[in-house]
Structure 1
């Protein structure tokens, strides 16, 4: 597949200043159906910098996660995808930045779009020339408000082609469930090591979704998406004690 370079569209989405992201955060329900908030919480200040929320901005996590992640990061950098979406505070999420991707994994980008109509106009004008471009509006659920979901295929570097999914809603990017799940999962993986990651990938290859896979291995009860998100509210000591109680002992 040939690499598509976008010319003359860098300003299509404009620019927007970003509020500083707190390095310590917790999950709090706001009573709203379409958002959660990351807030300052003294109980989680002991996570090292690489496992704090701010460390997941940009491409560095993706670049360092794996050879595949490095190739995908190069392709995104060559196309300036994050720059083109800068107005909407894009953050990469999903399995690739934390190296639990499988052959079917795509690259997920979360965006904060207060005005979904403007977001739709932006992505249509910017990315519609990419192969297999499509966009649809997702109806609100019990936990997430109405969202625009954009998919297209991208290539570059040593990548023949990979699918990009952009998920935009009126919730701040780092307060969306997709980001909170990834943050909690990265912390779990840092404690439980490569064997646990291997077990997650094995379940995913059996068509188990990521959060249900973590919930199954951690023996969480109830809704797996809520259960995994709640783990982001734990300090390192609390999460270490939690996994030890589950009989999953911390590596190293």
Structure 2
């Protein structure tokens, strides 16, 4: 699914308005044009007060189908909520660190840059792997021939300038390079 369907669901959810004080950012496969059936709309939030964030999510739950919320046990204890609006799945992630420092945003940003540089050939190569069931970061890592864990490997690319990313695209023999 792409185009107006996910945007309409996002608008209908009202989550950007409801969570405005948590600096929400839409990330993930929909804005990248890499969604496959079952993809969700990812909204990343800066939630230094996990209880306040959870309360804000809980307050709006009546508008959402299949609402679920939980909190991780790791150090900064992010809060995650999932639900559906207009049949489209959502995942809301609130973490104490600012959105631009969160791994999800950092992955999104480097993927966006790679797609801009690699063009439609790179997008189609990643989509081919995604259609086979791969998550986004592993799909990019496979297409680019990156070594090691795909999530770390993608983060390792974020400090490269465009020339460096073009070198990765060329060296790895990926489409668009």
TM-score, length of structure 1 as denominator length: 0.66
Bigger-Rg structure (1/2): 1
Q: Are positions 1:220 and 2:146 aligned together?
A: yes
Deviation string 1:174-212 (CA, Å, 9 cap, x unpaired) is 211111111111111112222221221221222222111
Change (3 A) 1:107 1:249: closer
CA contact (8 A) 1:90 1:110 kept: yes
CA contact (8 A) 2:25 2:45 kept: yes
**Alignment partner, residue 78 of structure 2:** 147
Structure 2 gaps, min length 5: none
Aligned-pair Cα RMSD in Å = 1.8
CA contact (8 A) 2:27 2:43 kept: yes
Deviation string 1:118-161 (CA, Å, 9 cap, x unpaired) is 11111101224411111011232xxx842111011102xxxxx1
- Choose the corresponding residue for 2:26, options 89, 92, 104: 92
**Alignment partner, residue 69 of structure 2:** 135
Q: How many residues align?
A: 177
**Alignment partner, residue 179 of structure 1:** 105
CA contact (8 A) 2:144 2:168 kept: no
Q: Are positions 1:196 and 2:115 aligned together?
A: no
Does 1 or 2 have the higher relative contact order (CA < 8 Å, sep 6+)? 1
Distance 2:12 2:71 in 1: 28
